[in-house]
Structures are given as C-alpha cells and as structure tokens.
Chain A
Amino acid sequence: MAIDTTQVGDFEYPGEEGEEVGNPPSKPQTWRRSDWLRPNALWALVGGVVGYLIGHWLGNVIASGYTQVQDTGQNDVAIVLGLSLGVAGFMAGIGALNYPLAKILGYELSPHPPEPTWARYFRMTDDHKVVGMQYAVGVLLFLFTGGLLAMLIRTELLSPTSHVFGPGTYIAIVGEHGTIMMMMASSAVVGPLGNWLIPLMIGSRRMAYPRVEAFSFWIFMAGYLVILSALFFGGFPTGWTGYAPLQTQAGGGMDSYLVGFAVIGIGMILAGFNLACTIINYRAPGMTWSRLPIFAWAILATTALLTLATPTLVVAGLMGIFDRTAETAFFVNEHGGSNFLWQNLFWFFGHPEVYIMALPGFGIVMEIMPVFTRKPLFAYKVAAAGMLGVALLSFFVWQHHLFQSGINPDMRPLFMLTTELISIPTGFLFLVTLGTLWKAKIRFDTPMLFCLGMLFNFLIGGVTGVFLSDVPVNVTVHGSFFVLAHFHYTIMGGLIFALFGGFYFWFPKITGKTMNRRLSKWHFWTFFIFFNCTFFPLFLVGLLGQPRRVFEYATNLQTLNDISSISAYCLGASFFLFIINFVWSIYLTPHEAPPNPWNSLGLEWQTPTPVPWFNFEHIPVVLNDPYHYGEPDAAPVADLGMAMAAAAPAGAVGHDELGTGVEGDGDPRPPIL
C-alpha cells in the first residue's frame, strides 16, 4: 500500500529551525552564488540561444552542401542540430543538469530553502505547487498563442475568395495553431492541476520525483520555443498531423515540428511516469483505491496513455528527422518505406492523445459536481472503471482516422466496432454526473456552470463522434469541417471548459484570493454562447462540403463561415474577461478567500492556505472518501494529526500556524531535496 513518506532522505536540511543557511561541517565544501547567477529562466534562454548557434554551426560544418532544402538555402541538419542543442542548452541554463552532474562528479549540492519570492517561478524547483503554477502560466501561454492564430484563421475564412494571407502563410498558421493547441491540451490539466493537486489529494508531501517534475515543465517550455521557431523557418505545410511524404518535402519549419513534438513528448512521458508513481506509491495511510478522489483516478488513467502512447510519437518524430537529414527512407515509398507508416505511428499515438486530453476533463467535472450538488458521487466505481476502460480501448481505435486511406480496408468493421465500443465507457461520464444531480441541491456557482457547460458540449462532441465512426457516413464527413467541429467540441468544449471550471474551483486554494463572482459568470456565459456559435455552424459547413485547412470555399457557405468567424472573435474576447478577472481579483483588489469557500470535503481543502511547502504537518490518516455529502454520521475524510484533531472537528479544519517549525512529529525534516 501507500509508502510512508515520512521516511525520506537522511541528510540534514539547512535553513530550518531558523538556522543560518550553510553547510554542516561534516559535508563537502559547497558555495553559494548570488541569486541572479543561479540557474533561472534567463539563463535558460541564454543557454538555448548559445546551444542553437553551436548546433547550427556544427550542422553547417558537417552537412553543408548536400542537405540544403531546394531553393531555400536551409540546411536541415543545421536546423535539427541547432534546435536539439538549443533545447539541451535551455535545460542546462535552467539547471536541470546541475544535480546529476554534481552527483557524478562526487559533489554535494547545497540545498536551497524554498524562496518565498516570485523568483522561484523562474527556476527549476522541487515544490509541486510552484511547478503547478508554472504549468498554469505555461499552458495559458500556449492557449493564447494558439488562440491568436485561430483568430487569424477565422479572419482568412471571412471571405470565400478574397484573401488576407498568401496560401503559404495561411497553411503555416493552420499548422502552427493545430500543433500548439495539441501540445497545450496534452498538458492542460495534467500539468497545472495534476501537479498542484495530486499530492494534496492523496495526502503526500511531495511528488515521487520532484526534479523530474520540474524537468517535465521546463522541457515543455523548451518545446514551446521550438514549435514557435517554425514560423521563423517559414512554417510547415502539413497541419498538426505532419503526414509524410509532404513532411519529407517541406521546408525548414518541418524540423521545428518534428523536434518540437519529440521534445514535448519527452516531457509528457516524464510527467506521466511521475504522476503514476506518485499516485501509486505516495498515497497516505488509509487512502485506499476506493477512497481515491475521482480526479486522481482520471489522472492515473491518463498517465497510462502518456507513458505508453507518447513514445510512439517521439520515435516517429525521430524517424521523420532521419528521413529529412540522414537520407533514410522510413516514409519514402520509392525507397522501400511507406507513407502509411507515419500515419500508423502518428495515430497510434494520436488517438490515445485525444483521451490524454479528455480524461482529466472528466476527472475535474466528476470531482467538482458532488461539491455543488451536496451529494456523494454516483457510481464511483463505474466512473473509475470507465476511465480505465477508455484508456485501454483507446489503443485499439487509431485506424478510424484512416478509414478512407486505403490502409487495411478490410479491417474497417473492426475499427468501427472498437470506436463505437469506446463510447460505452465514455458514456459513464453521463451516468455518473446525471446520477449525481438526481434530487440534489444544485448551486450554480461558476465552477459548476463550467462543468455543466462541459457536459452539454461533450455530449454533442461525443454523439457526432459516433457519426464519424460509421464508415459510410465517414465517407462524407472525413477530412471536412465536420471533423473539425467534432474535436473542437470534445477538446475545447470538453477539456477547456473543465479546465476553467477547475481553475475557478481551485484558485481560491491555490492563490488564497477570491475571484470576482460577477466577472466569472460573465466569462462563463460569453464563453459558452460564443463557443457554440463558433463551432456549431462548422458542423453544417463540413456536412455541406468544406474540407479542412482550405482558404477557398464555396460561396454559399459564406454566411455560416462568417457567423463562425465573428463568434470566434467574441470567444477570443471572452478569454480576456478571464485575464482581466484574474489580474483584478488576485493583484488589484485582492480579497482573502475563506479557507474552504465551496465547503468541499476534499483533502486538499483541509490544508492551510497558503499550503506550506511540505503540505502536511503530519501525514494524514485517511478515514473516508471525500464524497460523504448528505451523510451526517460519516467519518471525516482524514485525521490530519493530533493537534488538529483536538483543536477542530476533522473535515472542517481551516487554518493553522505551520509556517515555522514542525514540532510534535518526531521527524522535523521536510520531505525532499
């Protein structure tokens, strides 16, 4: 069962108990630099630029002259080496290599106490709460970059024939939008909320691998820079799917795509391993599988996909890189390769990827719903089993993306069956949430509104998915705007709605401040209405014959396209309501949030705000699941320690004074370094 996390390390931790930060005399001599000289995001950027220049120079030295992309003067070897060494330089600059290198060389790093300042957000840190916040900002950066590109796409599609962009620019924007959004969505919940909440939810003081956690975030940011660099090299013409042989034919921006996806993939794998290990091994005593919050189940199912599907993407990216630089022929038909190989590898990753995005959204909705209905979660075990079932089945459906491609055409009934089967465990989301609403006492606070919005959107997304899985109907809708509308309904309507629900729900815990209620509701309603106005017309547009990624379309579709475009601008503006609300509520007119504003039973709400660096003074003993609403005789969710148990009724602990020392535990060491 859960490992006793109080048994951590056996070295002294300087800086505790008011002791001067320094080195115990018995330890090897170490030195401290000024804060600016210690690794931080600035040095990461410097390292990235230096690494890129070295790599680019090296590539030109070893491969100049025979791998120039025709007529562009771009040398693929130089670009790939530049980007790869740039990522390495970025990671070195942020300090990812310091610990392993020091260990190899036999030095002991002086552990730094947690910085209380904003500077910690620009460093490699082993506090899962800081990494969670870093991820939140990083994910929003991805989201807004991709969102701005979406505005450009909708601008081009205002008119069927007159153009804002040249076709090359347009296709670069489309590819960049898709890729950035996919990269963002794969970490959207797992990154910020997964890292921030999971240790608190399972009663742990830390993640299983804190340095790996920080690494996964910073390499995520390195991936952001790499994929943005594609624009600098002229973009890539393949969209986010990167199909060969167009991939092999494309210019230097394609290298950014391939390296970028490989880099992001490494981050996804590491984040997945880390969360899986944490959930399996770091649960507090008494946190049995049947008491695990459903959000943790969702993350656990997601980690299975992150760790098992993503390696395929990394490998496919490497093959593509070799095809473009080392003249291999994995995807080149004339030389014994196959363009089907890329499609197979890509979608073998790509479909589980869809559920990497969807499952955490399910988790948030099911986690939040009991709080606002004041009822236990309905059919908890079905929910957990359903998400594991989705994770398992998602490995057996990938060829439904290739129904008309001519690949394995006789297997189409099988993939039609598996695809439709996956709607059974996916449908459990509705069984669970609708069951939870039965005879409830529903409070329509903003997080709940976002969850209900998610249910509405995801239902449409899911039902249209059944249309897509039917091969005869697929003949018409495959590759059209119908597909586009479908997956925007599941990912944006599902995941992003759930993500904002989660943000509104947990921000009072994370930031200690209350979000403005009226602005939050305005955000929801504009977001919900304009989301539907943007994407619902696109179902019709697709059904009426408009293929994806085109810049010209039939003139009779202009009205529908214009409705979508104008709504898209309003949807973009709705995001700014969130930004304004965030800045207004957190920085300009901060109101202290009550310790448990939603009156939730979740273990994460039983910790003080702000959560101390090591989360729990005592490792809690979990006594009950966090859903015993409407059960007055139920045991409290956890025993948080002797002092607290005496001071307050368990389950309603608000705040306590933990900031300084840790007495009474017999183990004053904080968990890690």
Chain B
Amino acid sequence: MTDPGAAGPATGPDQSGEQGETHHWWRLIAIWVVLSAILDPLFYFLAGPHIPPGTMTDVAQGAQFDFNVLFVIALPVLLAVWIYLIYAFIMWRASRGGPDPVGGEAARGHLGIQVGWILVTTVVVLFLAGFGTYELVQPGGAGGGEGSSPIWTPTSKTVLPIQVIGQQWKFTYRYPTFGGFETNQLVVPNDTTIQFNVTSLDVIHSFWAYQLGVKADANPDYNNVAYATTQELGSFIVRCAELCGIWHGAMYNNGAVVTPQQFETWAKATEVRLRRNTKLLPPFALTYTPDANGADGGYYPDNVDPYSNVEQYGAPQPKGGG
C-alpha cells in the first residue's frame, strides 16, 4: 500500500530540505518492501496450508485460499502503517529536538498524496470485492447459506441431498433419498457433492460444519441451501453458530466423511433399522411447521395446516410416505 504523509516539497525554514524529504520516503519504502517480501511468502507457504477450515471440501479449500489471499494483501497494509508509526516515533519525537514542524499549505494537505491514497485504496477494495464475488459464485455458493432457490450451484451432476433440522437444542439429519429416515448422525460420502437443506423447527439456529466449510442459518419455515463437495476422509464437528437459547453452547455433534461404499452400507442399514420410526415421522418436506400444541414436540410438513386436514392451495406436495 502507500506510505502516506510526505508533505510535499519542503518550504520555509525546514532545515532538512528537499533531500530530507526524499530521504524519508526511500527509507520507508525500502523497509516496507523488504519486510513485506519476507513475511508474505513466509505466511503463505508456512502458515497458509494450515489455515482453517482446511481442505476437507472444495468450499473449505476455497475459504482457506481466500483467507490466505486476503492475509497476503492485508499484511503489507499493516506493515506500512506500523513501519511508518515506528519510524515517526523514532525520527520525529519532540525529545529528539529536531527542527520545529512547519505549518502552512504544505502541512495541510498534498493533492498527490491524497489522490494517490484514495486511488490505491479504491483499487484494492474493488479488487477484493471482485475477487470475493468470483470466489463466491464459482464454487457454487462457497458453502454459505444460499436461500431456498440458490442461483450459484455446483457443476456436479449427482447431488446427495441431506436435510439439516435445527431444533432446541440439537441438529437432526434426514436423508430423503434413503426413505427420509431421520438420525442425529451426520455421515457423508467422499467425492460427492452434498446439498444441505437447512431448516428449523423453532428459533434461528446456524448449521456450522466447521471442517466442511459450510455455514447456513436454520430458519423456521425456511429452506436454506448450502453446497459442498467432499474431497477428504475424516471426522468433522458441527456446532450451532447462532444463539438459540440457554443450551446453545451445548449444541454440537460430530460428523464423518466416509468412502462412498461405507456410506452406502451405513445409509441402507440405517434406513432399514429406522424404518418403523420413519413411518411415524411427518413425510419429508423442505420445511415443517411446529405442532400447534407444542408440548409434545411433534411437527408437521409445511404444506399441511395443523388445524385442518385440507391441504393448502398451491403448496408443494410431500414426497414419500406418511
């Protein structure tokens, strides 16, 4: 970034004169360039690969790359200000007894520096906005909640839908392509694009699969979609990232990325094992309305009015049994 503050050609009784002016400039720039050139690669190559959320999915890797790019840009900005401040403290402290500061037009502003500063910051900021937009759109939403009708989707042809249901105070998961069973285990296959359909039964939660690089708010009556494509085996942690009441701090569980074969085996076995439970569940729907009677914890698919057995006009029909 720029080193600001040169007050233009010195005027008046300034003893250091024009030469002192350029002197300071070159010294500052030299220190800044050297330090940036050392510290930026150090960060990028040593710390960069370990920056959260890791590389378990494509979007996690994208977020890591983004973070590193931002840091490589931010570090010289921090260095520029810090170097300048330290330089100023050493060179221009009153106890050092240097020349008296010179006021006047030269000290009150410098068109070139002001315009330069604005131009440089504007260019950096516009680049960051463009870069961020590209990184958001290109990998299909970057793992964030994209609302109920996402316009940035992954290119993959096969997508595994998993419904995440936030409720006070746990997440449960429904697998609609395996009979819609509901479980509190989150198991996903490797090398697969997952579509998380996140909703809530009560208050706002936020589904944060940390190592997957996925975060999407769970809103009642709302289907919030997030995509991620797995690329590494391992376990990951799921936490609630939106304050949802007194047990918010205890709302977490572990998930696992397994091989597609293991997943297939697990899913089919679980489907069979939970068959009797699944029959008692409301049919799979994208959102559910909490039971009007509340206390028993039941809930209804959103296209059914809990007060009558007449389906609402225009609502999507439920898939699957029930």
Contacts and interface: CB of A to CB of B under 8 A. Distances in A.
Interface of A: 167-168, 170-171, 237-239, 241, 243, 245-246, 249, 333-334, 339-340, 373-382, 402-410, 412-413, 416-417, 420-421, 423-424, 427-428, 430-431, 434-444, 452, 455-456, 459-460, 463, 466-467, 469-476, 478-480, 543-545, 547-554, 627-631, 634
A463 B109 CA distance: 25
Given A438-B7, A439-B92, A376 B103 contact: yes
A344 to B, nearest CB: 13
Contacts of A476: 52-53, 63, 67, 210, 213, 215
Contacts of A478: 215, 241
B62 interface: yes
B224 interface: yes
Contact of B67 (A377, A382, A467, A634): A467
B215 A404 contact: yes
B192 interface: no
Given A459-B78, A471-B142, A476-B215, A382 B94 contact: no
B142 A545 contact: no
Interface pairs A-B: 5 shortest CB-CB: A630-B103, A550-B249, A631-B103, A479-B241, A406-B224
A443 B94 contact: yes
B219 A479 contact: no
Contacts, number: 300
Nearest to A427: B121
Given A237-B243, A406-B224, A545-B239, A463 B206 contact: no
Contacts of B39: none
Contact of B5 (A437, A467, A550): A437
B181 to A, nearest CB: 25
A460 B71 CA distance: 12
B138 to A, nearest CB: 10
B41 interface: no
Given A237-B246, A376-B107, A547 B241 contact: yes
Nearest to A163: B249
B10 to A, nearest CB: 8
Contact of B70 (A412, A444, A467): A467
A152 B4 CA distance: 43
A424 B125 contact: yes
A480 B215 CA distance: 11
A528 B112 CA distance: 35
B59 A550 contact: no
Nearest to A157: B249
Contacts of B245: 171, 237, 246, 249
A631 B70 CA distance: 43
A659 B233 CA distance: 81
Given A339-B219, A374-B101, A470-B66, 8 more contacts: A167-B246, A378-B5, A409-B150, A413-B137, A430-B81, A431-B4, A545-B53, A629-B101
A436 B94 CA distance: 14
B52 A424 contact: no
Main secondary structure on B side of the interface with A: mixed
B185 interface: no
A435 B4 contact: yes
Contact of B74 (A246, A374, A434, A466): A466
A627 B125 CA distance: 32
Given A379-B109, A413-B133, A467-B70, A406 B52 contact: no
Contacts of A402: 217
B80 to A, nearest CB: 9
Given A437-B92, A452-B85, A631-B104, A167 B247 contact: yes
29 contacts: A170-B246, A171-B246, A373-B101, A380-B109, A406-B148, A406-B216, A409-B150, A420-B126, A420-B129, A424-B121, A427-B121, A431-B4, A434-B4, A434-B84, A435-B5, A435-B7, A438-B5, A439-B92, A452-B85, A456-B85, A467-B70, A472-B135, A476-B213, A476-B215, A479-B241, A545-B53, A550-B249, A553-B249, A631-B104
Contacts of A443: 93-94
B147 interface: yes
B282 to A, nearest CB: 15
Contact of A549 (B117, B126, B217, B248): B248
A480 to B, nearest CB: 7
A381 B78 contact: no
A474 B66 CA distance: 10
Contacts of A406: 145-148, 198, 216-217, 219, 222, 224
B108 to A, nearest CB: 5
A109 B84 CA distance: 60
Interface in B48-102: 51-53, 59, 62-63, 66-67, 70-71, 74, 77-78, 81-82, 84-85, 88-89, 92-94, 98-102
Nearest to B7: A438
Interface string B220-232: 1110100000000
- Counting chain A CB atoms within 10 Å of each CB, which of B151, B217, B220, B290 scores highest? B217
Nearest to A438: B5
Contact of B7 (A334, A378, A444): A378
B132 interface: yes
Contacts of B126: 420
A437 B88 contact: yes
B202 interface: yes
Nearest to B14: A439
A420 B125 contact: yes
Given A334-B289, A549-B249, A239 B243 contact: yes
A430 B88 CA distance: 14
B136 A375 contact: no
A555 to B, nearest CB: 12
Contacts of B135: 470-472
B219 A412 contact: no
Interface string B1-38: 00011110000001010000000100000000000000
A237 B248 CA distance: 10
Contacts of B239: 545, 547, 550
Contact of B114 (A379, A408, A480, A627): A379
A442 to B, nearest CB: 5
Contact of A168 (B66, B78, B246): B246
Contacts of A167: 246-247, 249-250
A665 B298 CA distance: 81
A174 to B, nearest CB: 8
A405 B217 contact: yes
Contact of A440 (B4, B84, B92, B208): B92
Which residue, of A381, A428, A438, A629, has the highest number of chain B Cβ atoms within 10 A? A438
Contacts of B81: 430, 434, 455, 459
A375 B248 contact: no
Nearest to A237: B245
Contacts of B16: 439
A136 to B, nearest CB: 30
Given A333-B220, A478-B241, A543-B52, A413 B208 contact: no
B213 to A, nearest CB: 6
A473 B250 contact: no
A424 B77 CA distance: 13
Given A416-B129, A439-B101, A442-B89, A475 B4 contact: no
A547 to B, nearest CB: 5
Contacts of B6: 438
A545 B237 contact: yes
A340 B135 CA distance: 26
Interface string B249-270: 1101000000000000000000
B285 interface: no
B118 interface: yes
Contacts of A548: 241, 243
B159 interface: no
Contacts of B85: 434, 437, 452, 455-456
B246 A376 contact: no
Contacts of A379: 108-110, 114
Contacts of A340: 219
Given A470-B70, A475-B142, A630 B117 contact: no
